[in-house]
Structure 1
Amino acid sequence: MSAVPTPGRAVPFALSRAGAPAAAGLRLDPWLRRLAIVLSGALLPLGLFGLWSLAVQRGWLAPQILPPPSLVWQSLQELWASGELQDHLLISLRRVAWSVALGTAVGLPLGMLMGLSARARAYLLPSFQVVSQFPVVGWVPLLIIFVGIDEALKVSAISIAVVVPVTVNAYKGIAQVPRPLLEVARVYRLGLGQVLARVVLPAAAPSLFNGLRLGVMQAWLSLVFVELLASSEGIGFLMVWGRQLLQLDLVLVGVLAIGVVGVLLDSVLRWGERWVQRWRPAGR
């Protein structure tokens, strides 16, 4: 018959140590899973880097076509030390910020209007569904006629790419607001402003923030394309300049910068989205 510890009686050594490994294992398991996920995600980049290095060493491609990793790293250090890379990135990020602000200023009211009003939805939604199918490149020739090829072209084209996800998510988020909440607001005779502030916006906040996150990512992707077409500064221009000079190391530096900044933007916005959605468990 096993000994049962009683108050005032010391727990046997074997019994006190028995649960320690299990408790430690429970604490380590989440970290091990995260480490496994990180390592799994690093396999493909490491494999591509190894293939890149092997191709350069064996001479499978000419250095003018595939520069060695050491040259790309050296170019990255030189551009960073001179401040040129930071200047191009800041210019591109400023364009993204203006475009997100303008696209949200148009898309958010449009989506809210279609979500709140059946009449507005009947008039606007079919046309919006057709227009939203146009890619950004399809708008560029038309925008050149009206705004030229200067900064207004870039901001206008990128803003159009932002409008679509912001509008769609605002419309869906408001359309999916539980009807009982609206009925309660009607019973308490809340005004339109109070309904929006106290009922609609809190309930649709996750969808609205998701639309903002998608809009920012669409803006970043569209920015590179627009800068490749017509620009004299920015990260896309840096890539075009490197291609024209046949310095593909500059092109690869631009590719790396675009990927790193895109991942950072998406990570920050995902964290913000999770922070916004913390109210859901409490609401339930």
Structure 2
Amino acid sequence: MAAVPSLPRPATLASAEPRTPSARQVVWRRRGLDLLLAWPFPLAVLLAWQLGTQFELIPPQILPAPAVVATTFADLWSTGELQDHLLISLSRVMYGFSLGTGLGLLLGVSMGLSTTVKEFLYPTFRLFAQVPSLGWLPLLMMIVGIDEALKIILISKAAFVPVTMNTYDGLRNVPTSFLEVSRVFRFTRWQLLRHVVFPSALPPIWNGIRYALTHAWLALVGVELLASSEGLGFLIVYGRQLFQLDVVLAAVVVVGAIGFALDKVLAVTEAHLLRWRRNAF
């Protein structure tokens, strides 16, 4: 008896359906698209800069060519001058940012958890926050001089305000539904703070820390432009005084790159903290 040839098995429903991309694939595709969209504009600016200097639409004394700026950057790096100024600026901003963030967290938590502290200190804090950091420069120069204390105080003030505001707002704006659930479970005050209030307030608090680092970096450059003999801000002023615009542009590029990198570091840290927060609930 001849064997009956086996027919091909029909494809299962699962294999016939298109494969749905995973969440990680969707995230990576989105990041790739964002990266792709981020490049055209800066490349167009760089091309316009190159064409403007190449055809002398702008005098080279005012706007040096990109190649000249790159050469100047390489020279400053090879001599170690750029690293010296960069380390000085980074140390200043880290000291001021740490001090301002610590004080901001302390005051923000105190006002957010205590109505008495809030009524006593909040009006004064709002008045203090309305004055820009550099607005305190003349007064502080009379009190502490133009040494490192002046720079640390101004940078601390720049970081202090956003951390305090965001911490206070985050603690005051915990969703009512979260508080009702904690009452159902009869949480103690410590359990309420640990499992409900602080995890809920973490995103605005961390946004305040990110804003604080940005403001601290901007305040650093501002105070170094006005009252410093070292640092990236001083390097910009030094290049302007000698009419070396290539030095100015090289320092400006470093300032922008370092500020962008610092914000990215906090963004990555925030992603890990929020993942911890999701697991905590």
Instruction: Give the structure-2-normalised TM-score.
Output: 0.86
What is the deviation of 1:158?
Answer: 0.8
Q: Which amino acid aligns with 1:73?
A: A
Identify which of 160, 169, 176 aligns with 1:163. Answer: 160
Q: Aligned in 2, Cα 1:38/1:149: closer, same or farther, shift over 3 Å?
A: same
* Distance apart, 1:273 and its partner CA: 1.0
Closer/same/farther in 2, CA of residues 108 and 281 from structure 1, 3 Å limit: closer
Which residue does the alignment assign to 1:207? 204
Unaligned runs of 5+ in 2: 1-5
The Cα of 1:12 is off from its aligned counterpart by 5.6
Return 270-279 or 223-232, whichever deviates more.
Answer: 270-279
Code of the aligned partner of 1:146: I
Which residue is equivalent to 1:219? Answer: 216
The answer to whether residue 59 in structure 2 is matched with residue 70 in structure 1 is no
| Residues 179, 196 of structure 2: 8 Å contact kept | no
Q: What number of residue pairs does the alignment pair up?
A: 272
Report the 3-state secondary structure (helix = DSSP H, G, I; strand = E; otherwise coil) of the residue aligned with 2:39.
helix
Counterpart of 1:180 in structure 2: which amino acid? E
> 1: CA distance between counterparts of 2:16 and 2:179?
54
Indicate yes or no: 2:53 matched with 1:56.
Answer: yes
Q: Distance in 2 between matches of 1:92 and 1:136?
A: 17
Residues 40 and 109 of structure 1, relative CA distance in 2, 3 Å threshold: same
Question: Is the CA contact 1:95–1:154 (under 8 Å) kept in the aligned structure 2?
Answer: yes
**1:127 & 1:196 partners in 2: Cα distance?**
27
2:271 counterpart (259, 274, 277): 274
Q: CA offset at residue 23 of structure 1?
A: 3.7
Matched, 1:103 2:87: no
Q: Pick closer, same or farther for the CA change 1:25–1:174 going to 2, 3 Å.
A: closer
Q: Percent identity?
A: 46
Going from structure 1 to structure 2, the CA distance change for 1:35 and 1:208 (only over 3 Å counts) comes to closer
- Between 1:202-211 and 1:174-183, the stretch displaced more is 174-183
**Structure 2 match to 1:5:** none
* CA 1:12–1:221: 2 relative to 1, 3 Å: same
Residues 1:257 and 2:273 are matched in the alignment: no
- For structure 1, list consecutive stretches of 5 or more residues without a partner in the other structure: 1-7
Report how far residue 208 of structure 1 moved: 2.1
SS of 1:256's equivalent in the other structure is: helix
Residue 3 (structure 1) aligns with: none
**Maintained 8 Å contact 2:134/2:219:** no
Secondary structure class of the residue paired with 2:166: helix
* Candidates 158, 170, 174, aligned match of 1:173: 170
Aligned-partner Cα distance in 2 for 1:206–1:109? 17
Counterpart check, 1:90 vs 2:122: no
